[in-house]
Structure 1
């Protein structure tokens, strides 16, 4: 990102994306897909991944502040080495991808993640689920970690993967939010050197983030206030539908 956006429409869209980024970290995580889409629409798709990353880190800081005591460290320890592998693979893919290819990649990743979330909601629940074996836990951690690392590096779109993994683990809401917060704060910081090396984070990127901090804060406080007061099912359906349309438009 070599220069700041020059028109009011672009800044309005980026501000809305920043609000949604803050809201997704402290409230309903599905709104993060809309942030990705807005950044990829207003900026070149490849550059948008680097431009959004510092905004997400600011949002992560709010989430940690609100939910820092509610975190499942053993889960993060199981995922960590696999996430590192996934980030490396995603960085290699970014090195070779051009802007047109990245629009398709981002759209495809979002559609895949949306399909995963819909499947998790529609899948029949068993009355007597069998506890996973040690091998099953390790396999799930490996698959989740690699998916989280690669999708977050290429498109900042790993939220739905972690949502599904933690939902299937049966975490209560606060522990769910706290674990998500610490996971993505660490992962996003780990991605910074890769993004700088690929030329995706510049001084202009950081200046854009600084300008958008108030919007991130607004979204973060709104998410914290509303997470216990809204009809989550209807909200998630609307978010999934809008994200699916936006992802399809990116591919087209």
Structure 2
């Protein structure tokens, strides 16, 4: 691809933001999705961004390798894979705008329900169990898998699920790092088969991957200094902002 200087700056800056997001700074990964979507046609932007995400995943897993909650991943992953398969079936056959609106609405509705629950159950520290936990896991997993296949946009949905579990911030970041590395490798054959990843797209992805890796390393020092309560509020702001962004 013959990119302008401005496009290269946008691509590399957004890739650095991907790394910061993977390293635990909420919202920046979602911003990168928007930048790539503005710089390239929708299908092409998804294919260019996936290898960048995978490069950031690799560094994030190395940095947070001891902090994953594998029980959470094991329960959440099958539902997400189901969503990925559904997304692969409709990729290219449904309007991007329709998908964005649906995801945005679901994010905002689920966020509203969370704060309503918090208001009604003030002082409680329990996490969802039984049928409530299964329903939350299944709904967010399928929606997240579908969203990540269509637009690499599962971050808000996965964050929404994990924050319900009240994981400590480092465990939160480590679990997301391992989870998305696995999911993105599962997505890779689908993306190649659908033509979203090819030699042209990789000519843009490869230089950007280095910036994503540096971003992950830069994020660790910041994450460790953020108080737990502030960290959770940043996640909720990220989820709400992502919901409105997808609607607009």
> Scaled by the length of structure 1, what TM-score is found?
0.84
Change (3 A) 1:83 1:242: closer
> Hey, what does 1:29 align to over in structure 2?
26
Shift of 1:234: 8.6
Aligned residue in 1 for 2:189: 193
Query: Residue 15 of structure 2 contacts residue 212 of structure 2 at CA under 8 Å; is this kept in 1?
Result: yes
Measure how far apart 1:207 and its partner are: 2.5
Alpha-carbon spacing, 1:232–1:84, altered in 2? closer, same or farther (3 Å): closer
- Of the three residues 1, 6, 10, the one matched with 1:9 is 6
Check the 8 A contact 1:109/1:157 in 2, yes or no. Answer: no
Q: Structure 1 17/103 Cα, relative in aligned 2: closer, same or farther at 3 Å?
A: farther
State the Cα distance separating 1:51 from its structure 2 match. Answer: 1.1
Bigger Cα displacement from structure 2, 213-222 vs 164-173: 213-222
SS of the counterpart of 1:29? coil
Q: In the superposition, relative to structure 1, how do residues 237 and 149 fare at CA in structure 2: closer, same or farther (>3 Å)?
A: closer
Partner of 1:211: 207
More deviation in 60-69 or 158-167? 158-167
In 2: Cα distance, 1:6 partner to 1:210 partner: 14
Q: Report the alpha carbon displacement of residue 50 of structure 1 after superposing the two structures with TM.
A: 1.3
Partner of 1:109: 103
In 2, the alpha carbon distance for the partners of 1:243 and 1:168 equals: 18
Q: Does 1:55 align with 2:49?
A: no
**For the structure 1 residues 12 and 157, does the alpha-carbon distance in structure 2 shift closer, same or farther, using more than 3 Å as the test?**
same
Is 2:222 aligned against 1:226? yes
Farther off after superposition, 71-80 or 104-113: 104-113
Q: Secondary structure at the match of 1:38?
A: helix
Aligned twin of 1:90: 87
Change (3 A) 1:180 1:20: same
Q: What are structure 2's unaligned runs of at least 5 residues? A: none
> 191-200 vs 108-117, which deviates more?
108-117
In the alignment of these two chains, the number of paired residues is 243
Does the 8 Å CA contact 2:83/2:141 hold for their aligned counterparts? yes
Which position in structure 1 is the counterpart of 2:136? 140
Give the aligned partner of residue 151 of structure 1.
147
CA distance in 1, matches of 2:235, 2:75: 28
Q: Deviations over 1:29-71 (max 9, x none)?
A: 3211101000000000122111111100001011101101111
Q: Once the 2 structures are TM-superposed, how far is the Cα of residue 167 of structure 1 from its aligned partner?
A: 1.0
Partner of 2:69: 72
Q: TM-score, normalised by structure 2?
A: 0.85
